[in-house]
Chains A and B, each alone.
Chain A
Amino acid sequence: MAVPLRRTLIALHRATCNNLKSADGWVDVRQPHPLVVPVRGKKRHFIPPAVGIKEKTKADPEARARAAGLVFRQQYVERSINISCTAGIFDPYIPPEGDARLSTLSREGLKQRTEQLRQSAASQLAIRKIKEHDPLFNTKTFPELAQDIFIQAHMALTQFNKEKLHSLVTERCYPEMTRGNRLKTIRWSFVESLEPPRVVHARCPDMVTKTNLYGQVTLRMHSRQILALYDRFGRLLLGSEDEPKDVLEYLVMERHVVNPYGRWRLHGKIVPAWAPPKDPIMKTVLIPGPKLKPGEDFDALQFEVPKPQSVQWSK
């Protein structure tokens, strides 16, 4: 295509020159400028993005940025810690076996053992320390407050009111309460308290320095509650809305006593080793079987389903 174009151009040029030369008396006439037509060469007009990436990757982008004058501020790799609550329950209360259950032991002996708070000197010391920093604390009035906080926290959980829940529950307890609950509906209500709640244990651990004190108070609560858990599709997972259940709980309340704006918040629950097993869920669950070597057969009759160990743990 380029060759015939050139030929016509040359022909055009010659024709114009010839025409002008034949005109008479015009010596000053300049030669006409030839018509400039861009000729298409081998230059690539569109360079795709894939071409030239090798050169780009070889050149150091950091050096180029620095040369261009781009400055990045120093990146601080820090990890934040939360000091408004402790990470666990220190020196947990071990609930005596047979608490709130009919046992072969004499009722009076049991009462004596469980009701006497004075037995534990460490608890008394802890309460004294708490009273130093918070003069309004009283072992007689505190259980009512704590029960109130407990009820409000659980109501906030059913509505999933995050702000209110954060103010009633410590940062350690919050994920334990709310994990997996975003896509579930919880219906909970407090029917009545069977026994007045009371303080059974207190500790005042310090973190890092001797003066940074956190007060942890354990309460025993025997109450009647209704709990019904529904999954994402509104089907009942656990419990029922009509049947109230008697619940014996050991709640741990915590407060950063040194902080003047600190508040008593729910920190966790203690589940004793002798606690009765919970009601089974309305679902069949596949328990993984034993790992077999090639050639071995699975003997369903001999296989025993592993049972969980009965250990005290704190929720």
Chain B
Amino acid sequence: MATACTGRGLSFLRSLTCHVRGTALSGRPPAGLHTSAALEVNKNWERRNLQLYPPQLPGEPRRAAEVHHCRRQIKYSKDKMWYLAKMIRGLSIDQAITQLEFNDKKGAKIVKEVLLEAQDMAVKNHNVEYKSNLYIAESHSGKGKYLKRIRYHGRGMFGIMDKVYCHYFVKLVEGPPPAVEPRTGLDQAQEYLLGLRSRTVRHSL
């Protein structure tokens, strides 16, 4: 269809479609078109960066800047990536980068690159003043699209081998990392007892 129009016509069509796609959140295919689930990719995490907030009133507390960043189709297992994502949750960005630098896993290098990219984006595009004043609010891994291969077994048997890929998502928020109250075993035990004591017994004698 692209070849059917001349260059000029194509740019005209492009300008028309740009007019139609007014808002920042309409990058999907048009409603009438049906594509299979295998072809449609979910880009919601990137779209969160395009959300515009209304101007704040002078009395309101200053809203913290948020940056969402991700890397797709990393050649690594999502379960192995989860360990790294869990490790850096709640740390400040400098601490997280230091920890990842001295981690021996393959995914650590990739996660560190993603964090540095996100920090750069935050300073350049999202009006974050100090690049160290960020902490990791959310960090998780997701399953990517797997490739399937044959794994040969004996006696003519075979298994379908998955070549695993994963996505890694991170959300950086401006400000110092929130203080986590350390919960000891004693605290947990006390809470458990409290829960038991505050039960209401119905229809009893």
Contact = CB atoms under 8 A, between A and B. Distances in A.
Determine the main DSSP class of A at the interface with B.
loop
Q: What interface size band does chain A fall in? A: 20 to 34
A131 B54 CA distance: 46
B145 to A, nearest CB: 14
A237 interface: yes
B52 A183 contact: yes
B8 A78 contact: yes
Nearest to B50: A183
A100 to B, nearest CB: 31
B127 A232 contact: yes
Q: What interface size band does chain B fall in? A: 20 to 34
A234 B53 contact: yes
A232 B8 contact: no
Contacts of B22: 162
Interface in B98-138: 123, 126-127, 129-131
A71 to B, nearest CB: 11
A54 interface: no
B36 interface: no
Interface string A154-197: 00000000110000000000000000001101010000000000
A235 B62 contact: yes
Interface string A217-243: 000000000001011111111000000
A234 B6 CA distance: 43
Contacts of A80: 7-8, 11-12
B129 A185 contact: no
Contact of A283 (B6, B64, B66, B129): B129
A236 B158 CA distance: 63
Given A50-B150, A231-B127, A185 B52 contact: yes
A150 to B, nearest CB: 24
A40 B62 CA distance: 73
A26 interface: no
Contact of A48 (B3, B8, B12, B148): B148
Residue from A51, A78, A233, A283 with most neighbouring chain B CB atoms (10 Å): A233
7 contacts: A79-B7, A162-B22, A182-B52, A232-B53, A232-B127, A235-B63, A286-B123
